[in-house]
């Protein structure tokens, strides 16, 4: 069965979702408020670094995947409307749902064709949000319109850098539903995906997503805490210790090793905001989740700890070369990147003679953070040559032979990968 789908928000999740459903033979309209982003996509360009997506975009653009010129008309024709907009954290840590409400306002209007349409929340929202916030909101709006909408949620588990493979070959598909009709429709939509399909309650689906991200963040913070303990004890090879830990048969083929490994803290979009949103949400319910709180504090301390390590190796006016600005290798996403926090703290302590290099993320980083004291260098060797210390903040493969290349330079490998 071929469905008509409108996807709101064409970021990592939205564009992958749209193209994924197009690949499965559905007709997809994509819509984003960011006009520059839309222009890029219309020209067959993915506006961020993500393997495989451009190839798939070229295949489906103007065939099964169309950019919505008139979004209302697209929703009118649609059976399903996927909301994939951002849910960043607000100042107090809570999830900012305003982008989702904007989309709901856009969708919840009168249509000539009176068929039922399903709104699917794919954005990550704290458990109980759909039930307690979106359903009452929709019901209130529905008193002035006759069109019927049902709502479901469908958390996404893809990883940046592997968006396409993770979407097309997921480990599991989770849908929070309230009625049988919506469940049947979503089962049909996902019929050709070879993964177990779980239809669960709305709150359960949202909870499963936070369960996953909070555990990943916990493993990273735990590993970082252990690396600080090892540093304090002294004469411990941290890299070897963790490599040996991974040899335990219980880790075999679970592919979690990169999470149980120290570094300089998790970053990117999801782990920082989802842990903060869950903490805020639990506090509102009168419960202080001590482990989660420590995971977040540990992560925030980690960049300070990394900056202090750098400060013990150099004088204030020495040149510090920061290598790696994206939050992880093979990505140009700089949101909440460790480099930004380390640079900020170094500057705060008066260590402002900083140069920075990244194979792909320099321009994005420069636009995102207002570090006018940082000298951005386009060439890795140039950045290394002039520096008193080379600090590896992101484990790009390109940095792997730095010790051989610069045997006499001070190199601080904050990712334990050299």
Ligand X SMILES: NC(=O)c1ccc[n+]([C@@H]2O[C@H](COP(=O)([O-])OP(=O)(O)OC[C@H]3O[C@@H](n4cnc5c(N)ncnc54)[C@H](O)[C@@H]3O)[C@@H](O)[C@H]2O)c1
Q: Which residues are catalytic?
A: 270
Tell me whether residue 32 or residue 336 sits nearer to ligand X (CB atom). 32
| Residue 37 in the binding site for ligand X (CB under 6 A) | yes
Among 20, 22, 29, 31, binds ligand X (CB under 6 A): 31
Tell me whether residue 32 or residue 79 sits nearer to ligand X (CB atom). 32
Query: Regarding beta strands 173-176 and 197-200, do their DSSP bridges make them parallel or antiparallel, or are they unpaired?
Result: parallel
The tokens 């709150």 sit on which residue? 203
Nearest approach, Cβ of residue 16 and ligand X (Å): 8
Binding mask 46-85 for ligand X (x = CB under 6 A): --------------------------------------xx
Among 54, 96, 102, 344, binds ligand X (CB under 6 A): 102
Residue 337 near residue 268 (C-beta atoms within 8 A): yes
SS3 for the chain is CCCEEEEECCCHHHHHHHHHHHHCCCEEEEECCCHHHHHHHHCCCCCCCCCCHHHHHHHHECCCEEECCCHHHHHHHCCEEEECCCCCECCCCCECCHHHHHHHHHHCCCCCCCCCEEEEECCCCCCCHHHHHHHHHHHHHHCCCCCCEEEEECCCCCCCCCHHHHHHCCCCEEEECCCHHHHHHHHHHCCCCCCCEEEECHHHHHHHHHHHHHHHHHHHHHHHHHHHHHHHHCCCCHHHHHHHHCCCHHHCCCCCCCCCCCCCCCCCCHHHHHHHHHHHHHHHCCCCCHHHHHHHHHHHHHHHHHHHHHHHHCCCCCCEEEECCCCCCCCCCCCCCHHHHHHHHHHHCCCCCEEEECCCCHHHHHHHCCCCCCEECCCHHHHHHCCCEEEECCCCHHHCCHHHHCCCCEEEECCCCC
Tell me whether residue 123 or residue 223 sits nearer to ligand X (CB atom). 123
| Residue 124 in the binding site for ligand X (CB under 6 A) | yes
| Residue 117 in the binding site for ligand X (CB under 6 A) | no
Among 5, 6, 9, 221, binds ligand X (CB under 6 A): 9
| Residue 357 in the binding site for ligand X (CB under 6 A) | no
Nearest approach, Cβ of residue 10 and ligand X (Å): 5
Nearest approach, Cβ of residue 359 and ligand X (Å): 20
Nearest approach, Cβ of residue 81 and ligand X (Å): 11
| Residue 86 in the binding site for ligand X (CB under 6 A) | yes
Tell me whether residue 117 or residue 305 sits nearer to ligand X (CB atom). 117
Nearest approach, Cβ of residue 84 and ligand X (Å): 5
CB-side neighbour CA atoms (13 Å) of 126: 22
Among 23, 32, 332, 336, binds ligand X (CB under 6 A): 32
Nearest approach, Cβ of residue 335 and ligand X (Å): 8
Nearest approach, Cβ of residue 274 and ligand X (Å): 7
Among 6, 78, 87, 275, binds ligand X (CB under 6 A): 87
Residues 270-329 that bind ligand X (CB under 6 A): 270
Tell me whether residue 32 or residue 413 sits nearer to ligand X (CB atom). 32
Q: Which residue's Cβ lies closest to ligand X?
A: 11
| Residue 12 in the binding site for ligand X (CB under 6 A) | yes
| Residue 156 in the binding site for ligand X (CB under 6 A) | yes
Which residues contribute to the site for ligand X (CB under 6 A)? 8-14, 31-34, 37, 84-87, 99, 102-103, 123-124, 156, 158-160, 269-270
């Amino acid at each position: 069965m071929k469905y008509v789908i409108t996807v709101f928000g064409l970021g990592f999740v939205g564009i992958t979702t749209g193209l994924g459903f197009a690949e499965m033979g559905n007709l997809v309209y994509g819509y984003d408020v960011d006009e520059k982003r839309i222009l890029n996509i219309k020209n067959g360009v993915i506006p961020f670094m993500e393997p495989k997506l451009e190839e798939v975009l070229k295949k489906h653009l103007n065939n099964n995947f169309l950019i919505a010129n008139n979004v209302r008309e697209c929703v009118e024709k649609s059976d399903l409307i996927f909301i994939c907009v951002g849910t960043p954290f607000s100042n107090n840590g809570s999830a900012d749902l305003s982008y989702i409400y904007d989309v709901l306002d856009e969708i919840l209007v009168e249509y000539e064709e009176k068929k039922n349409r399903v709104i699917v929340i794919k954005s990550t929202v704290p458990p109980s949000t759909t039930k307690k916030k979106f359903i009452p909101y929709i019901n209130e709006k529905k008193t002035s319109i006759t069109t019927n909408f049902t709502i479901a949620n469908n958390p996404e588990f893809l990883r940046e850098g592997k968006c396409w493979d993770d979407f097309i070959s997921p480990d599991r598909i989770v849908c929070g539903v309230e009625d049988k009709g919506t469940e049947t429709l979503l089962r049909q939509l996902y019929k050709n995906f070879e993964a177990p399909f779980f239809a669960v309650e709305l709150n359960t689906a949202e909870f499963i997503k936070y369960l996953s991200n909070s555990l990943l963040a916990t493993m990273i913070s735990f590993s970082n805490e252990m690396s600080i303990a090892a540093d304090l004890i002294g004469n411990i090879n941290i890299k070897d210790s963790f490599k040996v830990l991974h040899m335990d048969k219980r880790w075999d083929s679970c592919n979690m090793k990169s999470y149980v490994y120290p570094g300089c803290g998790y970053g990117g979009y999801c782990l920082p905001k989802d842990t903060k949103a869950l903490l805020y949400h639990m506090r509102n319910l009168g419960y202080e989740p001590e482990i989660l709180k420590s995971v977040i504090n540990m992560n925030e301390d980690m960049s300070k700890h990394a900056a202090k390590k750098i400060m013990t190796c150099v004088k204030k006016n020495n040149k510090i070369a920061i290598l790696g600005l994206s939050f992880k290798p093979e990505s140009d996403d700089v949101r909440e990147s460790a480099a930004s926090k380390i640079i900020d703290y170094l500057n705060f302590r008066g260590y402002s003679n900083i140069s920075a290099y990244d194979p792909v993320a320099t321009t994005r980083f420069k636009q995102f953070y207002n570090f006018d004291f940082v000298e951005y260098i386009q060439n890795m060797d140039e950045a290394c040559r002039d520096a008193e210390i080379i600090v590896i903040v992101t484990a790009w493969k390109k940095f792997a032979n730095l010790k051989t290349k610069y045997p006499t330079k001070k190199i601080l490998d904050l990712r334990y990968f050299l």
